[in-house]
Amino acid sequence: MEATIEKRLGLKELASKVMSADEAAKLISDGDVVGMSGFTRAGDAKVVPMALADRAKNEDIKIDVYTGASLGPEVDNYLAAAGGIRKRGPFIGDRGIRTLINSGDVLYADMHLSHNAEQYRQGIFGKVNYAIIEAVAITEDGLLIPTTSVGNSPIICETAENIIIELNITHPESLIGIHDIYVPGEQGQREPIPMTDATQRLGSIGIKIDPSKVKAIVISEEPDAPSLIVPPDEETQTMANYLLDFFRDEIKAGRLTNELMPLQSGVGSVANAVLDGFADAEFENLVVASEVLQDAVFNLIDAGKVRFAAATSITLTEELQERVYSNLEKYADKITLRPQEISNHPELIRRLGLISINTALEADIYGNVNSTHVSGSKMMNGIGGSGDFARNARLGIFVTKSYAKGGAVSSIVPMVTHVDHTEHDVDVIVTEQGVADLRGLAPKERVPLIIENCVHPDFKEQLWEYYNAAVEKYGNVQTPHILSRAFEMYENLEKTGSMKKQ
């Protein structure tokens, strides 16, 4: 272990900063704003947050935590449960912190993930007192090499006053060279991002840090918490097949080739399962340009379907973690991890013409999508990068099963209770019932497509009845709605446990 540390800690002047997690955690003060590494449970600091959680159990210490995206249990479960978090952003996924957000114990700011770097630059979160960043190594020339995610770590290291590094010796050394760190300058003074192909490298293998900011180095052996996605099922397979057929039609129409365009696939089980569907399809030489590489991407690389995959994090189930991290050399020239400012940058999403596939919590008959709120009030996860991608993609596709709660809930409703993706942003909706291609359509043209192609048969009649009643009452207006009835399916749900009409 000593030899490993010796080797991983190339910048020798930092050797004196090595200390225990407890000692490092003592550097943090109540009220601090802390920027942390980590994106979708990957590459997050673990042992210092756990030490902080222990402190928070016994003393009044609450901090603001801004990260790349969702973290593993150390922060988003234990530190949160210990009362150590006042405010959290820009994305969460853990059930622990979700509960505390919805009980009002933790404030949560839900933000587009490509916007954070600008927010750090402008000091929107306040002065960042500490960065806590997981690294696989610190090179002789002062490059911090991130682990399984890059996220916002470069801009956090740049803007934070102090840096605590968790040097994680469990992550394989073969991660060195995987990352591609490019950070745009100030707005109004920056150059175009020089990427014209998603497989290009733009920057360096690590984050250039100011060694004088480093106040602690803590050795960690904690692995990333594995991804919690559930395996594909019959319905996600059906959705994947509908999507593949849609792509085949696009090829026939001359809008895509057999290599498609760079693919982005959102965080979570459904998006992963849909991507899995490519394994048996005829598309080849695929490129993935996403925010997270989940199991499906590595399966597709292994199957020779995907020739290159870029993202800002790698989030794998336990099984895939073992397979990938012990064979990382095999993937070294096929994957790269970029800052989320780059992976999610509107400039690149538009230029490269991405196909974006994200999960909807619910959609409405006019094509608005809710990704975040249950019944308009309770936070589920957050918008994440779905808005960055859907707004600027060549094709903005949303996938969802047509029903939830064993059939009591329809995922298509008259009016969504929270809008994360407006009718102007949603190109295609896919459920296990079928596909609705909404491009170029007026709201009233979308209604029959969405109801007939995407809604579960149990709810079709109910949605038609609402739409027809709205047209009857207010005429054939742009977007017929009866406001007093727009949410009646939720009122049914609250009263009876089912959205169905009684």
75 in a known ligand binding site: no
Residues from 286 through 315 that contact a second copy (CB under 8 A): none
Which amino acid makes up residue 298? Answer: F
Beta strands in 182-245 (DSSP E): 207-208, 214-220
The type of residue at 201 is: R
Rounded distance between C-alpha atoms, residue 70 and residue 36, angstroms: 11
Is residue 330 a contact point for a second copy (CB under 8 A)?
no
Hey, which residues between 221 and 280 contact a second copy (CB under 8 A)? 253-255, 261-262
- Which residue in this structure is represented by tokens 């293998």? 205
Q: Which is nearer to a second copy, 97 or 324 (CB)?
A: 97
Q: Write out the DSSP string of 146-175.
A: E-SB-BTHHHHHHH-SEEEEEEESSS-GGG
Nearer to a second copy, 59 or 491 (CB): 491
Any binding-site annotation on 151? no
Q: How far is the CB of 403 from a second copy (least distance, A)?
A: 20
d(C-alpha 97, C-alpha 66), whole Å: 13
Residue 381 and residue 372 in contact, taking contact as beta carbons nearer than 8 Å: yes
Q: What string of DSSP letters covers 317-386?
A: -HHHHHHHHTTHHHHTTTEEE-BHHHHT-HHHHHHHT-EEEEE-SEEETTS-EESSEETTTEE-S--TTH
Compute the least distance from the CB of residue 500 to a second copy, in Å. Answer: 17
Buried b (16+ CB within 10 A) or exposed e, 312-341: bbbbbbeebbebbbeebeebeebbbbbbbb
Q: What residues between 110 and 149 interact with a second copy by CB under 8 A?
A: 110-112, 115, 118-119, 122-125
**Of 91 and 130, which CB lies nearer to a second copy in the complex structure?**
91
* Burial label, 2 (beta-carbon count in 10 A; 0-12, 13-18, 19+): exposed
Residues that bind a second copy (rule: CB under 8 A) add up to a total of 86
Nearest approach, Cβ of 42 to a second copy (angstroms)? 23
Q: Which is nearer to a second copy, 46 or 112 (CB)?
A: 112
Q: Rule CB under 8 A: is residue 419 a binding residue for a second copy?
A: yes
What are the respective helix, strand and coil percentages of the chain, to the nearest 5? 35, 20, 45
Out of 107, 228, 230, 303, the residue judged to bind a second copy by CB under 8 A: 107
Of 134, 166, 291, 341, catalytic: 291
Is the CB of residue 143 less than 8 Å from the CB of residue 206?
yes
Q: Which of 171, 179, 394, 456 binds a second copy (CB under 8 A)?
A: 394
Q: How far is the CB of 436 from a second copy (least distance, A)?
A: 15
Selected from 109, 202, 244, 408, the binder of a second copy by CB under 8 A is 109
192 part of the interface to a second copy, by CB under 8 A: yes
Annotated binding-site residue? 343: no
The reply to whether 502 sits near a second copy by the rule CB under 8 A is no
* Residues numbered 344-383 forming contacts with a second copy, rule: CB under 8 A: 345-347, 350-353, 368, 373, 375-379, 383
Residue 259 a catalytic site member: no
268 belongs to an annotated ligand binding site: yes
Site for a second copy in 439-498 (CB under 8 A): 439-442, 444-445, 470, 474-481, 483-484, 486-487, 490-491
Which part of the chain contacts a second copy (CB under 8 A), choosing from 151-159, 161-169, 181-189, 315-323?
Answer: 181-189
- CA neighbor of 65 nearest in space, from 54, 57, 420, 53: 53
Closest to a second copy by CB, 16 or 478? 478
Which one among 3, 16, 60, 103 touches a second copy, defined by CB under 8 A? 103
Tell me the CA distances in angstroms from 206 to 13, 140, 179, 254, 321, one per residue in order.
18, 12, 7, 41, 22
Residues classed as catalytic: 291
Residues flagged as binding site? 266-270, 381, 385, 405
